[in-house]
Amino acid sequence: MQFSTFQKNLDEWQGVSLIFGVLEEEIESQLETIKFVVDPKLLLKKITTKKFKGEKGGILNFEFLDQKLENLIIIGLGKTKNLNKGDIKNTLGNLIRKIVDKNEKISILLPWELNSQLEINHLAESMRLSAYKDNRFNKKKDEKRVLREIEFLNSNKFENISFEETEKICEGVELARRLVAAPPNSLTPQAMSIKASQIAKDHDLEIKILDAKECENLGMGAYLAVAKGSDLEPKFIHLTLKSEGPIKEKIALVGKGLTFDSGGYNLKVGASQIEMMKYDMGGSAAVLGAAKALGAIKPKGLEIHFIVAACENMINGSAVHPGDVVKASNGKTIEINNTDAEGRLTLADALTYASNLKPDSIIDLATLTGAIVIALGNDVAGFWSNNNDLANDLKTASAEVGEELWQMPLQKSYKDGLKSHIADMKNTGPRAGGSITAALFLEEFFDENIKWAHIDIAGTCWTDKNNGINPSGATGFGVKTLVQWIKNK
Ligand code: BES
Ligand code: MG
Ligand code: ZN
């Protein structure tokens, strides 16, 4: 999708489709702004008969078949006092999806001045992500989306406005969405490793893919315990992005990469949505999406590691038994009292591996617990951190990009829930506070001097219905926050 700005006098504008945003107040004077295309008085009459007041999400569509302007869409943005960045993006996102198949180019005029390049970039990003479609697996595969260009009308002039970085970020988010939405017979651990190699090739990253044997040599007994119930080989993926010149900071991003989670012998039954468990690699999708975006953006002074212990959680004759004791690569033993708490087992070895690289900070993302979905729903991800600076930086970054995070406690007293009679710990605590014990479990697997944050995206990586800038399906949650957090360094 192309973005552009129209920076000349509006009287000179010559498009065919215009979206005009209107606030829920003083409509008459707002309509004066578009006198360059239609007679405001005429329009006011029409609007009044249709009882349109500019209320948030209200849409009026006018077709002018015999005129230069063929299509005018007036969109209500609500009251000024209630305006916020997120709402504006969501309202426009919902509109864009309605017209994506109808117009090749649309222009947008808002009832206020766009004051910065950043503001326009954010709008462009939301528009593109809202219009996203995935027809890889159906017969619309070769259909070209009609909407190709979005133009912003604005009287503020910007010199050399660029949408390049916006495009790189969108490509990262869209990659994550495609990975998450791909079914488990398509996106296998091997397929994921091939995608990672492609990113490495495209953006000049170092790549290491470890097979089961190499993981065994590193003592990754927790990760391999999960993988051994599947006929598919696990693939441990490690990408490295090194800035040119001196390195000021080392970062590791770790993602849960279960290409399918059946639950294992603690099989997912009833309402546990086994058929959706292709999205159990949402954390790794965010990490690989960030790798793609950052590989293209090339931030300075950083060494960034992207790590995924990819595998499936399945059942066969050699699958892990509920009750097995395994040893992770940091030497700690784990009693697997529930095979469905598999993500933390894979992360145990992935975090140990990350920790051994001696980074300044580690962030892991994982569709880790159903409990976080109960606690925070589908719009907010939970996060935990052992470091206040990192927690604050993440909050700032996520707020800047409009991905919502809510900090949860590392409640030490709940650690008792992971006590085992036979091993150093169990992998599963009581149902109550299930997301917290999961985070406490992860904390056992890296050097405590490393700043760490864990983001549980079980609720946010997928949406059943269109939701603001997210079309129904995979959201790509996490990519934007990771990229912004790195950009802020
Ligand atoms: N992948 C699931 C978590 C999940 C649940 C993600 C719902 C998205 C939606 C994870 O592996 C899991 O099964 N967790 C268990 C843990 C329990 C056995 C302690 C859960 O949350 O039920
Ligand atoms: Mg599970
Ligand atoms: Zn899982």
* Exposure class string for 106-119: b at 16+ Cβ within 10 A, else e: bbbbbbeebeebeb
Range of the domain at 384: 166-487
| pLDDT one-digit tens code per residue, 186-241 | 999 999 999 999 999 999 999 999 999 999 999 999 999 999 999 999 999 999 99
Distance between CA atoms of 234 and 249, rounded to whole angstroms?
A: 30
Is the CB of residue 312 below 6 angstroms from any atom belonging to ligand 1? no
pLDDT band at 332 (very low <50, low <70, confident <90, very high): very high
| pLDDT one-digit tens code per residue, 376-398 | 999 999 999 999 999 999 999 99
pLDDT over 80 at 141, yes or no: no
Which ligand 1 atom is at minimum distance from the Cα of 462? 8
CA of 478 to the centre of ligand 2 (A): 20
Is the CB of residue 373 below 6 angstroms from any atom belonging to ligand 1? yes
Q: Is residue 160 part of a domain?
A: no
In degrees, rounded to 5, the angle at the alpha carbon of residue 308 between the alpha carbons of residues 130 and 488 is: 55
The pair of structure tokens assigned to 204 is: 């000049």
Q: Are 181 and 152 in contact (CB under 8 A)?
A: no
Q: Is residue 453 part of a domain?
A: yes
Mean local confidence (pLDDT), 105-116: 92
Nearest CA residue ID for atom 22, ligand 1 = 370
CA of 404 to the centre of ligand 2 (A): 24
- CATH number of the domain where residue 300 is located: 3.40.630.10
pLDDT band at 142 (very low <50, low <70, confident <90, very high): low
Is the CB of residue 257 below 6 angstroms from any atom belonging to ligand 1? no
Question: Are 192 and 77 part of one and the same domain?
Answer: no
Question: Are 276 and 413 part of one and the same domain?
Answer: yes
Mean local confidence (pLDDT), 13-18: 93
Identify the weakest region by mean pLDDT among 66-70, 231-235, 406-410. 66-70
Is the CB of residue 274 below 6 angstroms from any atom belonging to ligand 1? no
pLDDT over 90 at 139, yes or no: no
Is the CB of residue 83 below 6 angstroms from any atom belonging to ligand 1? no
Identify the weakest region by mean pLDDT among 66-70, 158-162, 281-285, 298-302. 66-70
Question: Are 317 and 415 part of one and the same domain?
Answer: yes
Mean local confidence (pLDDT), 310-335: 98
Which ligand 1 atom is at minimum distance from the Cα of 367? 6
Q: Which residues are placed with Cβ below 5 angstroms of ligand 3, an ion?
A: 258, 261, 280, 343
268 is catalytic: yes
Q: Is residue 409 part of a domain?
A: yes
Question: Are 461 and 440 part of one and the same domain?
Answer: yes
Question: Are 101 and 241 part of one and the same domain?
Answer: no
pLDDT over 70 at 470, yes or no: yes
pLDDT over 70 at 173, yes or no: yes
Nearest CA residue ID for atom 17, ligand 1 = 341
344 is catalytic: yes
Question: Are 77 and 203 part of one and the same domain?
Answer: no
Q: Are 205 and 240 in contact (CB under 8 A)?
A: yes
Ligand nearest to the CA of 276: 1
Mean local confidence (pLDDT), 95-111: 92
Predicted confidence at residue 217, as pLDDT, reads 98
CA of 3 to the centre of ligand 2 (A): 41
- CATH number of the domain where residue 130 is located: 3.40.220.10
Question: Are 176 and 50 part of one and the same domain?
Answer: no
Question: Are 94 and 231 part of one and the same domain?
Answer: no
Question: Are 106 and 246 part of one and the same domain?
Answer: no
Predicted confidence at residue 283, as pLDDT, reads 99
Question: Are 478 and 381 part of one and the same domain?
Answer: yes
**Selected catalytic residue, list 89, 256, 268, 451:** 268
Predicted confidence at residue 155, as pLDDT, reads 76
Domain count, the chain: 2
- The residue among 131, 155, 179 that closes a domain is 155
- The residue among 98, 122, 155 that closes a domain is 155
Question: Are 139 and 80 part of one and the same domain?
Answer: yes
Mean local confidence (pLDDT), 266-289: 98
Q: Which residue has the higher pLDDT, 86 or 155?
A: 86
Mean local confidence (pLDDT), 435-445: 98
Please tell me which of 64-68, 86-90, 252-256 the model is most confident about, judged by mean pLDDT.
252-256
Mean local confidence (pLDDT), 461-481: 98
Predicted confidence at residue 115, as pLDDT, reads 87
**Selected catalytic residue, list 128, 168, 235, 344:** 344
- The residue among 136, 155, 174 that closes a domain is 155
Distance between CA atoms of 213 and 233, rounded to whole angstroms?
A: 10
Q: Is residue 230 part of a domain?
A: yes
Question: Are 382 and 442 part of one and the same domain?
Answer: yes
CA of 102 to the centre of ligand 2 (A): 42
| pLDDT one-digit tens code per residue, 339-349 | 999 999 999 99
Is the CB of residue 434 below 6 angstroms from any atom belonging to ligand 1? yes
Predicted confidence at residue 154, as pLDDT, reads 86
